[in-house]
Structure 1
Amino acid sequence: MTFSIATWNINSVRLRMPLVERFLIENAPDVLCLQETKCPDDQFPSAAFRKLGYEHLAISGQKGYHGVATVARRPLELVEKRDFCKMGDCRHLSVRVPVGGKQILLHNFYVPAGGDEPDPEINPKFRHKLDFVAEMNAIRAEHDANSASVLVGDLNIAPLEHDVWSHKQLLKVVSHTPIETESFEAMRKGGEWVDLMRLNVPYEQKIYTWWSYRAQDWAASDRGRRLDHVWSSQNLAPGLRGIEILREARGWERPSDHVPVIARFDL
């Protein structure tokens, strides 16, 4: 059985619903996890998703900020909407999806960006980000013979040297500072998560999922970062068929600054 999961920071689902529709029609993932939906639950465009065949929805949204949503063509069971750091932000939800005899626990995350100053003593946004990642240590890659786990989302950290356009120039820039990348990788490894995007990609190869709006010509400058991630429990990794990063979506009309990432499995 083939199964696919996509993740995308959409930067306002209502504003960019035409892009979401195009993506779903052209790529048809079984499950789509969205971040930064920026709308309360009662204003989420559920009807548009259902019209496209995505009849199963789990939503955690708030007005104007944050927000995550998971939509699927197969049944979902909502497991949890966790309030990280007791901030009241909608940044996480988990669902259970039955696939090929297994129950997959799917986490959808939107980690705080952290502001501009990488000093937790003077920047409360950066302190919040570090505390959020520390709290993510509780999210483990649970699995057994009949279950597996997947974690996706905009995690707002590019952990490896070749996850950014210039390791040296970004060492003091939020998203790639050592205090972030080291705690991030320690959290991932401690939870026994497999970084699927790097599973079959050489370490030296650049991977980007985000390009800043500030660039006059994002494609020409190509100063990207890998801020979006797909992880799984150990027992799903052998079934990974491939990862696709839809770079071209960054060039669509009125795009998000992130692009969709699709993981495909044979289960």
Structure 2
Amino acid sequence: MTFTLATWNINSIRLREGLVHRLMREEQPDILCLQECKAPVDRMPLEGFRALGYRHVIARGQKGYNGVAILSKLPLREVGAYDFASLGHARHVAGQLENGITIHNFYVPAGGDIPDREANEKFGQKLDYVAAMRDWAHAERPRKSILVGDLNIAPREDDVWSHRQLLKIVSHTPIEVEHLGQAMEAGGWVDITRKDIPQGLLYSWWSYRSPDWDRADKGRRLDHVWATADIAAAGHGSRILRAARGWEQPSDHAPVLASFDL
């Protein structure tokens, strides 16, 4: 089975329903994982997605914030929706394809603006969430699995526009990078995007605060596609659809895509 998977923090599935339709029509991924849907499941515009061929849906939602969904042309069944760090947030859902491949869709907390858990509760929640991902991977040792989503951490120096200037900025601080590395190691995860594109600056997020985002290009790679080592060699064709950041009323994230031969 060959399929293409896309992950995208849509920043409101209802507000940007039309952009989701555009991605489906123009890129036609077999599976689309969305984060920050900002709606209960019964308020997500799923009928329009089903009309475009995405008949299989697994989702968790909340009113006004969080929320994750897997929209698929391929049959899949729900196999989990974990409340990591017991935050009570809709930040994870997992589905399994008929060939046994499990897809985990994550939305890691952003962490606020101050990189100090004593001064900023949200930063502590973020670290606790990623630590819980690590502990889960240690306990379950995932196999034949793909992990995608907005992990809200840019781990490598070339995943941000300025490593030096962002060392004290939430999303690229050493403690966040360390936590994410531990979670990756615990699950034996391979960064498929960087396997395919090993060198060079690479971003999937540009702040709304920069109206001239494209020219300034002060981005970060916050959105990821990982796979367990047993299937990582099957991943290929990784790319970031940068153009989507320039669509009308865009999300501040761009879709990240990869294909798998499994």
Q: Same fold (TM over 0.5)?
A: yes
- After TM superposition, the structure 1 = structure 2 runs for residues 133-152 of structure 1, keeping only pairs within 5 Å, are 133-137=130-134, 138-139=136-137, 142-143=142-143, 148-152=144-148
**Distance in 1 between the 2:179 and 2:19 partners?**
34
Q: Secondary structure at the match of 1:169?
A: helix
CA contact (8 A) 1:141 1:193 kept: no
**Distance in 1 between the 2:212 and 2:127 partners?**
32
Aligned pair partner of 2:202 in 204, 207, 230: 207
- How far does residue 59 in structure 1 lie from its aligned partner after superposition? 1.0
Aligned pair partner of 1:179 in 175, 181, 188: 175
Alignment partner, residue 227 of structure 2: 232
Alignment partner, residue 161 of structure 1: 157
Which letter does structure 1 place at the counterpart of 2:233? P
Alignment partner, residue 62 of structure 1: 62
Alignment partner, residue 117 of structure 2: 120
- How far does residue 185 in structure 1 lie from its aligned partner after superposition? 0.9
Aligned pair partner of 1:241 in 236, 240, 245: 236
- How far does residue 103 in structure 1 lie from its aligned partner after superposition? 0.5
Alignment partner, residue 13 of structure 1: 13
Structure 2 unmatched ranges of 5 or more: none
| Residues 224-247 of structure 1: per-residue CA shift (max 9 Å, x gap) | 000000000112221122101100
Alignment partner, residue 262 of structure 1: 257
Which letter does structure 1 place at the counterpart of 2:108? V
Which letter does structure 2 place at the counterpart of 1:262? L
CA contact (8 A) 1:141 1:150 kept: no
Root-mean-square deviation (CA), in Å?
Answer: 1.0
**Distance in 1 between the 2:133 and 2:65 partners?**
21
**Distance in 2 between the 1:208 and 1:156 partners?**
12
CA contact (8 A) 2:10 2:37 kept: yes
Aligned pair partner of 2:103 in 101, 106, 111: 106
**Distance in 1 between the 2:251 and 2:196 partners?**
27
- How far does residue 202 in structure 1 lie from its aligned partner after superposition? 2.9
**Distance in 1 between the 2:236 and 2:172 partners?**
29
How many matched pairs? 259
- How far does residue 201 in structure 1 lie from its aligned partner after superposition? 2.1
Which letter does structure 2 place at the counterpart of 1:125? K
1:36 aligns with 2:31: no
CA contact (8 A) 2:192 2:236 kept: no
**Distance in 2 between the 1:96 and 1:150 partners?**
10
- How far does residue 141 in structure 1 lie from its aligned partner after superposition? 5.4
**Distance in 1 between the 2:95 and 2:196 partners?**
27
**Distance in 1 between the 2:9 and 2:75 partners?**
23
Q: Secondary structure at the match of 1:250?
A: helix
- How far does residue 193 in structure 1 lie from its aligned partner after superposition? 0.2
User: TM-score, normalising length from structure 2?
Assistant: 0.97
- After TM superposition, the structure 1 = structure 2 runs for residues 73-84 of structure 1, keeping only pairs within 5 Å, are 73-84=73-84
Structure 1 unmatched ranges of 5 or more: none
**Distance in 2 between the 1:77 and 1:216 partners?**
41
Structure 1 runs of 4+ aligned residues shifted over 4 Å read: none
CA contact (8 A) 2:141 2:186 kept: no
